Amino acid sequence: MELKKIEKAFEQILEGIGEDRNRESLMDTPKRVAQSYEELFSGIDKNPEEPLLRYFSVDSNDLVMEKNIDFYSMCEHHFLPFFGTIDVAYIPNGKVVGFGDIIKSIEILAKRPQIQERLGSELADVIYKTLDCQGVMVIIKAKHLCMTMRGAKKENSQIITTACRGIFEKDSNRRVEVLTLLK
Pairing of strands 113-114, 64-75: parallel
Q: Please, are residues 134 and 97 in contact by the beta-carbon 8 Å criterion?
A: no
Pairing of strands 113-114, 55-57: unpaired
Query: 164 among the known binding-site residues?
Result: no
Question: Number of C-alpha atoms within 13 angstroms, CB side, residue 131?
Answer: 34
Q: Please, are residues 36 and 10 in contact by the beta-carbon 8 Å criterion?
A: no
Query: 146 among the known binding-site residues?
Result: yes
Distance (Å, rounded) from C-alpha 17 to C-alpha 61?
56
Query: 75 among the known binding-site residues?
Result: yes
Q: Where are the beta strands (DSSP E) in 36-157?
A: 55-57, 64-75, 81-91, 95-97, 113-114, 135-144
Q: Is 153 helix (H, G, I), strand (E, B) or coil?
A: coil
Sign for the CA dihedral angle at 82, 86, 92, 97 comes to positive
| Annotated binding-site ranges for Zn(2+) | 75, 78, 146
| Annotated binding-site ranges | 75, 78, 146
